[in-house]
Chains A and B, each alone.
Chain A
Amino acid sequence: MNCAEWEEKIALYLGDDLAVHDLDRVEGHLRACAECARFYKELKLDANSLRSAPPEAATADYSVLRRLIRRRVASEQWRKRLVPLIAVAAAVVLAIVVRSTAPQPVIPAPQPIVVRMPAPRVEKSVHTGGAGLQPARFHPKHPTTDPDLEAALMRFTNSELPQQEAHPKTPIEMRVRTKDPNVTIVVFQPNEATPNENE
């Protein structure tokens, strides 16, 4: 191990950072080697120089520095006080803006009242005579018409409708009875009359 290799251990030794098992070796080398002993002495002088504060630290005008610090700290203090106020003001402004631009709440329309009523009774019947009406199945290629039925329906539609006083808006239901007991033609016609007209 040459002297250059001892430098690191000597520097650690100076700072009390050397491992315990190396202490004896380094101290022995420092006693034996004049060059390393000189290096150690110089390191010690450097450390002493560093331990003393720089001369400017003793001559500096601290009152000026203190004034500068005070000024900055005072502005920080104002900022600290203003920030919550600004935050509150911003929140209020934001709330006003949001409130004025937000869509108005949609009020739901009331549910229509459903009144269940019995169907109006049949006011008019169509009498198709003795022959009766024979319902025929419609065939698109061979359309058939029943003249009796057509005539009965025509009479029905041209006839004057009775007034519905109880429920003027109730559609008028007409039933056409046919010969077949299983077949009844039901016709609904809207009641156009307004309540005022009915009165």
Chain B
Amino acid sequence: MRESGRSEAELLSLARGGNLDAFDEIVRLHERRIYALALRLTGTPEDAQDAMQEAFVRLFRNLARVDCQDRLGSWLATVVVNACRDLGRARQRSRLVPMGEKLAVFADPGANPEVLRSGEEREEQLRSCLQRLPERERAALTLRELEGLSTQEVARILGTSESTVRVHICSARIKLRKLLAGWFEEKL
């Protein structure tokens, strides 16, 4: 049964009472945004799916503590950032190939010159370069650009100060530009 037509607060209230259809509806409302954010942060659809699932399961566990006034979207963004961070740490512990390196190999500019010219390839390269940024800088820049959050909101989500966020975003922009410029030079 689809619980359409209900406000987010009503859906939260129903979900707290154990209504899983209402919870499904909450997932529907936020899935695309959360998946896109997870994709930017992790770099691969598989990791993004894992992070997204983890974020919604954590939401379910903490339904009693989530206040609709507190903006569910912002709460979910915080959770997905943490879930992506946990995934990255688990990957490092299990000594698998780091996400950035894996993508870099996948998006090797010399692999297929014809594909390189496509917009899809540029997107892949952007994602690859993004993965080479330090975790905190990547998260700060993604939250600012993809989510369109203010410095204050980004600072709250990352649990840091506004001045640190400014430094992270600034540094991330410059590093990303240099990585992309290096890639384009290599391509030409």
Contact = CB atoms under 8 A, between A and B. Distances in A.
Interface string B147-175: 01001000000000000001001110110
A57 B166 contact: no
B36 interface: yes
Contacts of B27: 66, 69
A47 B145 contact: yes
Interface stretch (B4-12, B54-62, B74-82): B54-62
A187 interface: no
B128 interface: no
A56 B103 CA distance: 15
A46 B52 contact: no
B13 interface: no
Interface in A7-26: 7-8, 11-12, 14-15, 17
Interface size of A as a range: 20 to 34
B173 A14 contact: yes
Interface size of B as a range: 35 or more
Nearest to B35: A57
Given A54-B127, A65-B35, A77 B145 contact: no
Contact of B126 (A39, A50, A66): A50
Interface in A45-70: 46-47, 49-51, 53-58, 60, 62, 65-66, 68-70
A58 B45 CA distance: 12
A149 interface: no
Contacts of A123: none
B173 A15 contact: yes
B23 A73 contact: yes
Interface of B: 18, 20, 23-24, 27-28, 31-32, 35-36, 39-40, 45, 48-49, 52-53, 56-57, 60-61, 120, 122-123, 126-127, 130, 141-142, 144-146, 148, 151, 166, 169-171, 173-174, 176-177, 180-181
20 contacts: A8-B170, A11-B171, A15-B169, A42-B181, A47-B173, A49-B122, A50-B145, A54-B39, A54-B40, A54-B127, A57-B39, A60-B35, A65-B35, A65-B53, A66-B31, A69-B27, A69-B53, A70-B20, A72-B53, A73-B56
